[in-house]
């Protein structure tokens, strides 16, 4: 009884704070909307207000943004392959995640934004969509979401679960509440033993934690399509060397410009493929390259770069894998700025040598495995990155060895999908 009282008290305090912050959520949507207009749309979904009658969607998958949607893709594809008529709801929080859901599955899945973690909104969301199992990707730990699933009798799983030491420390204030919320989970299906241990330290019962590996290793690769894209690319640029800066954030943009200037002193015909992480950065990146004196092309305007283009900005979503395959060397962003890195396996999976900055706390295990296999080079700063990229551009044999090692690591790492499906099978509705 005392435990129930403590839970009610903690939930009440948490919910009261969130309700007081509702005006801030409106301000946040407006502020983001000026940078990315899609944030002005579909506000009703943010507060769990839906037109029409309730709809039953037995399997619910929550993937916060584009990276998590890509990680969830093998799982959703497998669930659809098991039963093409199975109704699946995929929720996201960001417009880029929403666009990726539609690009991958179109109308084969239901999709809305997940509401804010207000208790009333969560109850309305669950009552409207009536899921029978909840599959939550990676590190989305929202107390009311988990408690409301328990209260509604919906078994909830954290799949492809990851939790860095930094994130664990960041949950200090909410630990008394989160530890209780984690006890409501059916399983924590962790990426690694270290992730599983950190979830246990946060409060997940040891018997609920299983290690399945990383779903990103099971990503689908369309080899024929990539080869065709690569041939088209080379027809346009010839034998020019090319590198890609992918998933970059604002504080990494000036370093990328400086690196490209330095590299073009040695390779005057060097082409930079640049894919910023967020759509609102497409135009500023183009302008920075123009200000640097370069001729710039973009995917939406010209489709392909020309012989005289110094920079080609990939201002589309969902095509990054193909352009990784077009480059000789790939820099994966979020690693110079203190973001924690992005998916290092994507370029490795298509046979491209990979470099990154040092801030990789979100991909600690993958980065370690890639470095041990000599499939990743890390620069400690922009100068270090430029040096590593130059070495690889100058050494085709080393690039090939790194590419082969990365491909082998991805092949050997497959199996997380099978183990995840086995872990969630008892609660998957027939």
The predicted-structure confidence for 107-163, as pLDDT tens digits, reads as follows 999 999 999 999 999 999 999 999 999 999 998 899 999 999 999 999 999 999 999
CA pair distance 236, 305, nearest whole angstrom: 7
* For range 291-316, the mean pLDDT: 93
Nearest by Cα to 310 from 340, 341, 270: 270
Query: Does residue 387 lie in a domain region?
Result: yes
Contact 243, 221 (CB under 8 A): no
Q: Indicate whether 116 and 185 sit together in one domain.
A: yes
CB-based contact 196:215 (threshold 8 Å): no
Q: Are residues 249 and 384 in the same domain?
A: yes
Residues 375, 408, single domain; the answer is: yes
- Evaluate whether residue 1 is within a structural domain: no
> Could you give the percent of the chain with pLDDT greater than 90?
80
For 14-71, what is each residue's pLDDT tens digit? 999 999 999 999 999 999 998 889 999 999 999 999 998 999 999 999 999 998 999 9
Q: Is residue 264 part of a domain?
A: yes
b/e code 314-326 from CB counts within 10 Å (16+ = b): bbbbeebbbbbbb
306 lies in the same domain as 408 = yes
Q: Let me know whether 205 and 329 are in one domain.
A: no
Q: What is the pLDDT of residue 235?
A: 79
Give yes or no: residues 290 and 383 share one domain: yes
Return mean pLDDT, the chain.
93
Same domain, 360 and 423: no
* Reduced 3-state DSSP string for the chain: CHHHHHHHHHHHHHHHHHHHCHHHHHHHHHHHHHHCHHHHCCHHHHCCCCCCCCCCCCEEEECCCHHHHHHHHHHHHHHHHHCCCCCEEEEECCHHHHHHHHHHHHHHCEEEECCCCCHHHHHHHHHHHCCCEEEEECCCCCHHHHHHHHHCCCCEEEEEECCCHHHHHHCCCCHHHHHHHHCCCCEEEECCHHHHHHHHHHCCCHHHEEECCCHHHHCCCCHHHHHHHHHHHHHHHCCCCEEEEEEECHHHHHHHHHHHHHHHHHCCCCEEEEEECCHHHHHHHHHHHHHCCCCEEEHHHHCCCCCCCCEEECCCCCCHHHHHHHCCEEEECCCCCCCCCCCCHHHHHCCCEEEECCCCHHHHHHHHHHHHCCCEEECCCHHHHHHHHHHHHCCHHHHHHHHHHHHHHHHHHCCHHHHHHHHHHHHCCC
Domain that holds residue 281: 223-413
Better-scored residue on pLDDT, 388 or 11: 388
State how far the Cα of 118 lies from the Cα of 109, in Å rounded to an integer.
25
Tens of pLDDT, residue by residue over 189-213, are: 999 999 999 999 999 999 999 999 9
* Residue 1 pLDDT level (bands cut at 50, 70, 90): low
The predicted model gives 323-331 an average pLDDT of 94
For strands 110-113 and 376-378, give the pairing: unpaired
User: 145 and 271 share a domain?
Assistant: no
Structure confidence at residue 385 (pLDDT) = 96
**Structural domain includes residue 2:** no
Active site residues: 68
User: Measured between alpha carbons, how far is 193 from 201 in angstroms, rounded to an integer?
Assistant: 12
* 218 in a structural domain: no
**Closest to 135 in 3D by CA, of 207, 67, 55, 57:** 57
Q: Residue 318 is encoded by which pair of tokens?
A: 């969902």
Q: 238 or 247: which carries more pLDDT confidence?
A: 247
Statement to judge: residues 55 and 94 lie in one domain: yes
Residue with tokens 């330290």: 201
CATH number of the domain enclosing 134: 3.40.50.11720
**Maximum C-alpha span of the chain:** 73
Does a structural domain hold residue 191? yes
Question: 34 pairs with which residues across the strands?
Answer: none
**256-299 pLDDT per residue, tens:** 999 999 999 999 999 999 999 999 999 999 999 999 999 999 99
**pLDDT tier for residue 187 given thresholds of 50, 70 and 90:** very high
Please tell me the number of Cα atoms within 13 Å of 384 on its side-chain side.
11
Domain count, the chain: 2
- Does 406 have pLDDT greater than 70? yes
- Which backbone phi and psi does 414 adopt, to 5 degrees? -65, 155
312 bridge partner residues: 273, 297
Measured torsion, CA atoms of residues 389, 408, 360, 171, in degrees rounded to the nearest 10: 170
Q: Identify whether 12 is part of a domain.
A: yes
Contact in structure between 324 and 244 (CB atoms under 8 Å): yes
Q: To 10 degrees, the CA torsion angle through 390, 392, 397, 402?
A: 170
pLDDT of residue 221: 80
Residues 149 and 244 in one domain: no
- Residue 68 contacts residue 139 (beta carbons within 8 Å): no
Calpha distance 161→193 (Å, rounded): 11
Distance CA 91, CA 98 (A): 8
For residue 325, the domain's CATH number is 3.40.50.2000
Amino acid 398: pLDDT: 96
User: Is the same domain home to 201 and 162?
Assistant: yes
Query: Is 124 part of any domain?
Result: yes
Confidence band of 307 (pLDDT split at 50, 70, 90):
confident
Let me know whether 194 and 293 are in one domain: no
Residue 287's pLDDT is 96
* Euclidean distance between CA atoms 119 and 139, whole angstroms: 19
């Amino acid at each position: 009884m005392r435990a129930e009282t403590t839970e009610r008290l903690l939930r009440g305090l948490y919910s009261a704070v969130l309700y007081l912050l509702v005006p801030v959520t409106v301000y946040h949507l407006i502020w983001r909307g000026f940078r990315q207009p899609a944030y002005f749309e579909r506000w009703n979904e943010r507060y769990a207000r839906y037109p029409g009658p309730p709809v039953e969607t037995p399997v619910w998958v929550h993937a916060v943004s584009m990276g998590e949607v890509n990680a969830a893709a093998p799982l959703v594809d497998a669930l659809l392959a098991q039963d093409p008529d199975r109704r699946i709801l995929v929720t996201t929080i960001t417009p880029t995640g929403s666009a990726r859901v539609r690009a991958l599955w179109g109308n084969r899945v239901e999709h809305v934004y997940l509401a804010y973690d207000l208790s009333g909104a969560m109850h309305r969301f669950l009552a409207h969509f009536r899921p029978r199992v909840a599959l939550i990707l990676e590190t989305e730990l929202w107390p009311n979401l988990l408690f409301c699933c328990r209260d509604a009798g919906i078994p909830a799983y954290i799949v492809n679960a990851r939790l860095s030491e930094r994130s664990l420390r960041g949950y200090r204030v909410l630990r008394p509440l989160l530890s209780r919320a984690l006890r409501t989970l059916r399983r924590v299906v962790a990426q690694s033993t270290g992730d599983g241990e950190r979830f246990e330290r946060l409060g997940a019962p040891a018997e609920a934690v299983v290690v399945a590996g990383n779903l990103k290793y099971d990503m689908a690769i369309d080899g024929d399509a990539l080869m065709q894209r690569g041939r088209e690319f080379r027809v346009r640029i010839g034998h020019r060397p090319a590198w890609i800066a992918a998933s970059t954030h604002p504080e990494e943009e000036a370093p990328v410009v400086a690196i490209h200037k330095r590299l073009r002193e040695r390779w005057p015909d060097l082409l930079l493929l640049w894919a910023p992480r967020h759509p609102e950065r497409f135009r500023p990146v183009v302008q920075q390259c123009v200000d640097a004196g370069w001729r710039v092309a973009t995917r939406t305007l010209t489709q392909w770069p020309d012989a005289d283009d110094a920079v080609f900005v990939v201002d589309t979503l969902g095509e990054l894998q193909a352009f990784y395959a077009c480059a000789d060397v790939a820099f994966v962003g979020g690693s110079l700025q203190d973001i924690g890195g992005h998916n290092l396996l994507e370029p490795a999976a298509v046979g491209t040598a990979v470099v990154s900055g040092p801030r990789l706390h979100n991909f600690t295990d993958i980065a370690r495995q890639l470095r041990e296999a000599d499939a990743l080079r890390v620069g400690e700063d922009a100068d270090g990155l430029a040096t590593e990229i130059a070495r690889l551009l100058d050494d085709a044999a080393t690039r090939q060895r790194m590419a082969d090692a990365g491909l082998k690591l991805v092949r050997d790492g497959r199996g997380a999908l099978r183990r995840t499906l086995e872990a969630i099978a008892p609660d998957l509705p027939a």
